[in-house]
Amino acid sequence: MARVPRPAARILLVDAAGRVLLFRFTADDRAPFWCTPGGAVDPGESYEQAARRELIEEVGLPADPGPQVDRRVVDFLTLEGVEVTADERWFRVDVESHEVDPAGHTELERRVMQSWRWWTRDDLAACEETVYPDDILAMLAQTDFRR
């Protein structure tokens, strides 16, 4: 079966202390993992518009995503059980601080994204659970120069 194309916007949301926000996903068919905010681009949306929407829906933060800082093409199984090839465009958003407001979470997100936290780079390096992207420390270092 062919993989479904999935354009997606992902966000490196970094606070003034240099910590990055990750959501912990718990699903019945795989081990828990941590991932940045973001998701699929809706029909007719640009990657930038999707990043802005995802920030509002998942984080409760109305913010401009700024310029794209990276692009990745990755294959994975979505939480809905669909094999996709994701064309991910990455954006870095810097904030002083922010408390996540889950009011905009979808039913699926409320079920599988029940916790989140701000991670220091040392915390990420020591994390024993899976973190996506697996090279998030390198991405953070690379984008520090683009602020």
What was the pLDDT predicted at 147?
46
> What's the total number of domains in the chain?
1
Q: What is the CATH number of the domain that holds 97?
A: 3.90.79.10
- What is the spatial distance between Cα 59 and Cα 102, in angstroms, rounded to a whole number? 6
Whether 50 and 40 have beta carbons less than 8 Å apart is answered as yes
- What is the spatial distance between Cα 99 and Cα 80, in angstroms, rounded to a whole number? 28
The pTM of this model reads 0.93
Interval 89-115: pLDDT, tens? 999 999 999 999 999 998 988 888 989
What was the pLDDT predicted at 29?
85
Interval 110-119: pLDDT, tens? 888 989 999 9
Show the domain range for 39: 4-146
